[in-house]
Structure 1
Amino acid sequence: MRPAWAEISLDRLIQNYRLLSAAAGESGLIAVVKANAYGHGTLACAHALANAGAAWLGVTNAEEAIAVRATCPGARILVMSGLWEHEAEGAIEHRLTPVVWEPAHLEWLDAATREKQCATQSVAVHLEIDTGMARQGVRLADLPSFLERMQAAKALSLEGVMTHFHSPELLDGEATAAQMARLDAAMEIISARGFRPTVIHAGNSATVLANDGARSIGELAAKYGASAMLRPGLSLYGYPPRVSGEGASTEANELQPVLAWKTRVVSLRTIEAGESAGYNATFRAGRPSRLALLPVGYADGMNRLLSNRGEVLVRGQRAPIVGRISMDLTIVDVTDIPAVEMGDEVVLIGKQGTEQISAYDFADLAGTIPYEVLCNISARVRRVTLNASEDDV
């Protein structure tokens, strides 16, 4: 097989989940496994998390949810980005819990229950409130009319209410407090219409890892007789969000990266001073140089912005990327690393010896975020799951 793979430590994933559960206190967790579990492999991660006690799993759409249902028959699965017209039947058939905010969502689900002749069956939904993100969710001004339509859809049950914070990393900021106030106002309207949701959820990894981060959500939920939940994603996979302000919990320091991305040296050559390497000759050797070729490129998720800037680990040492990263190949300079041979293991993300390169390191050089780095590791990079006895990442 092509020598490019990602090792996924399920033991680290479970350990991270337990740390986050402890940090959340009395609040429950929705373990977010959308977008191929942030590049880690949805099915393996969802199965491991469900076995570790995760009652709820969060995915993007019905297609992801149906795949997860096959491996996690007992889990509650939240479809976080809503439904499209012909997904309603699948949501009902596979016992999914869709997030709703458009009247069309209600119409599609209501019609699907009638078509399946299960109008007496209660289909649980979670209503998203737009408290300032202006992305998904019902705006407060539109909430009364939306609730009227919901009351008309007799087969639908409002189990949960949720919102999405736009700046949870600002631990001492006012933005989240303002959004919480809007969510409280929405709950007043919802309660006044006779709805009694049993779950209220908001917040992501930053909220879980902030000291008392879950407190305000828990207090709001208790006010309306509901349970509180939070939705960690990135931190499950070992990367605590960078927060601003005081109040980060100690659990953030104990999280372990779940993924290590590796390849091998597939070719070696020596070039003379003045010779170029890669497209458009963006690198010219200032001395006789030994170059190693790696079978990974931007089609695998190696961001092209790492050209002539990034590093990899070879024999426990850092080797600079030279020349432009191409679609399938990357060149690194191993002149200062003795005895590099074809077949040597190369670490792109992970640890080798005493050196370590993280998704944050890649992101900083490319001017992006670790979410994108991890999610962009493409499907042709095979995922290999490890257990504790094999885990040397």
Structure 2
Amino acid sequence: MLRCITILLSTMTLTVFASLQADFGQVPGERQRFRVLGPTRTYTVSQSWIEVSYSDLTHNAGKVLYQLGPDVIPLAIVQGNGYGHGLDTVAKAFLGAGFKELGVADINEAITLRQEGVEVPIHIIYQPDFLTARVMALENVEVYIEDLSFARVLCEETTAVKREAPMQVHVKAALGAAVQGVSSLEEAMELIEYINTCSSLQLRGITTEHAEPKELEVFAEKLRVAGAKFGVTGVAASPKMLRDKEAYGTTGIVHVSAALYGQQEIVKAGDMLHEGHHAKRDMTVAVIYQGYTDAFQVDEVAVRGKLCQRVDLGNSMRVTIIDVTAVPLVQVGDVVLLHGKDGSIELKKPWNLAAVSIGVPRIPKWD
């Protein structure tokens, strides 16, 4: 079972009408001082902090790596300061558990990891703005390219700084529910052909997100038939893929994000369910792997003949959290009814269920 970290927050309220500069470095429990830039005045507030279980992070990473198997290159997404858990902390935990590469949101996170001694490949998974290209050209990072205009700028900058080795790049394809990247075979070929003419860039692979591996395989094969040459394909790990090793096909790099940071089973009254929404009572929750990237949205489902309400009001991309408190003997692997009849219960078809092909959702098992 994936483990959830423990978060402790103290109340902090601060209202000022000037720019602030913080003195960082205090241990939890100390008072934190803020200096107003201008007149010398000091404000004191209670400090908030977060406690992260390093052992739980490595535990989760180990479980995910076991599910992935040895035939893929596992890449841990640590963007957004490790989703708030601490960039350096999560990076070292995941690498120590066996992950081979890391993914970040921008060049600042990549530089921070290099300064902390991280030597594995670091992927910048979002195409940055043109002004960042010069800084990126100086660093040992792998860059995701979504269009020809950025490729030209990156080629110019990497050529200008006279790199010792070409920069590794990946072409991002807009497949499945993804909207970022090249959207046609012709557009992809034009981008690939340009990259191959630039001596300071080297195409490592084709990548996408929010798409099934088979869809990427078909697209990659069409590119190869058209004459494109690249090393690997990369795809974001969906919950389905983490349950079924065969789903990867010939995928080379698998990006893993949310699964590494844990899922909580028991929710206490007051716990946050979604930003701005908290549990009104203690409850047992379960996760089903359907979300809005599956064109799926529903307010209630049925498990073992009992109606269960959806509690993640934010409607996540790939998962839906349901309240199973009232379901006796609920367990991992139980079938979840999305629409149709189950005894006296009849659920209407979700508004857009017909738009997709959904497998039988079940409560997932990790152990």
Alignment-derived partner of residue 361 in structure 2: none
Match of 1:201 in 2: 234
Mapped contact 1:97–1:125 kept (Cα < 8 A): yes
Which residue is 1:131 aligned to?
Answer: 175
Aligned to 1:291: none
Question: Residue 370 of structure 1: CA displacement?
Answer: 7.1
Q: Quick one: which of 61, 68, 71 aligns to 1:24? A: 68
Distance in 1 of aligned mates of 2:168 and 2:267? 39
Which protein has the bigger helix share? Answer: 1
Distance of 1:3 and 1:189 partners within structure 2: 54
Q: Residues 183, 302 of structure 1: CA spacing in aligned structure 2 closer, same or farther, 3 A cutoff? A: closer
Asked if the contact 2:236–2:254 (Cα under 8 Å) also holds between the matched residues in 1, the reply is yes
Tell me by how many angstroms 1:108 deviates: 1.9
* 2:77–2:104 Cα contact (<8 Å) kept: yes
Decide which of 96, 105, 123 is 2:150's aligned counterpart: 105
Q: Give 1:194 deviation, angstroms.
A: 4.6
- 2:45 is the counterpart of 1:15: no
Q: SS of the residue aligned with 1:231?
A: strand
Is 2:90 the partner of 1:57?
no
When normalised by structure 1's length, the TM-score is 0.55
Kindly state the Cα deviation for residue 13 of structure 1 after the two structures are TM-superposed: 0.7
Aligned residues of 1:5 and 1:261 also touching (Cα < 8 A): no
Aligned-pair identity in percent equals 20
1:181-260 aligned within 5 A: 181=215, 183-190=217-224, 192-197=226-231, 199-212=232-245, 215-217=246-248, 219-221=249-251, 228-239=252-263
Tell me, what secondary structure is at the counterpart of 2:49? strand
1:45 aligns with 2:90: yes
8 Å CA contact 2:167–2:200 kept in 1: the answer is yes
Would the alpha carbon gap of residues 191 and 10 (structure 1) be closer, same or farther in structure 2, given more than 3 Å must change? farther
- Normalising by the residue count of structure 2, what TM-score does the alignment of the two structures yield? 0.59
Unaligned runs of 5+ in 1: 167-175, 222-227, 240-255, 263-293, 312-317, 319-354, 372-393
SS at match of 1:367: coil
Q: 5+ unaligned residues in a row in structure 2: which ranges?
A: 1-29, 31-45, 289-308, 318-367
Q: Distance in 2 between the 1:207 and 1:68 partners?
A: 30
Counterparts of 2:310 and 2:48 in 1: how far apart (Å)? 23
Give the 5 Å matches for 1:57-76. 57-76=102-121
Supply the distance in 2 between the matched residues of 1:80 and 1:204 (Cα, whole angstroms): 14
Deviation digits for residues 226-260 of structure 1 (CA, Å, limit 9, x no counterpart): xx221111110113xxxxxxxxxxxxxxxx89xx9
Partner of 2:202: 157
Higher relative contact order by CA 8 Å / sep ≥ 6: 1 or 2? 1
Q: Work out whether 1:304 is the aligned partner of 2:288.
A: no
1:173 counterpart residue number: none
Question: Using a 3 Å threshold, how does the CA distance of structure 1 residues 40 and 359 change in structure 2: closer, same or farther?
Answer: farther
CA–CA distance in 2 between the matches of 1:68 and 1:356?
38
Change (3 A) 1:3 1:163: same
CA distance in 2, matches of 1:113, 1:303: 41
Structure 1 residues 369, 81: closer, same or farther in 2, change over 3 A?
same
Tell me the secondary structure at the aligned position of residue 51 of structure 2.
Answer: strand
Q: Secondary structure at the match of 1:126?
A: strand
The corresponding residue for 2:313 is: 367
RMSD: 3.5
Aligned equivalents of 1:13, 1:138: Cα separation in 2:
34
2:345 maps to what in 1?
A: none
Q: Do 1:128 and 1:136's aligned partners in 2 also have CA atoms closer than 8 Å? A: yes
Rounded to whole Å, the distance in 2 between the matches of 1:49 and 1:85 is 31
CA contact (8 A) 1:29 1:229 kept: yes
Q: 2:58 corresponds to which letter in structure 1?
A: I
- Pair 191,100 (structure 1): closer, same or farther in 2 beyond 3 Å: farther
Aligned residues: 251
The one-character-per-residue Cα deviations of 1:297-346 (angstroms, maximum 9, x if unpaired) are x9xx983333xx535xxxxxx6xxxxxxxxxxxxxxxxxxxxxxxxxxxx
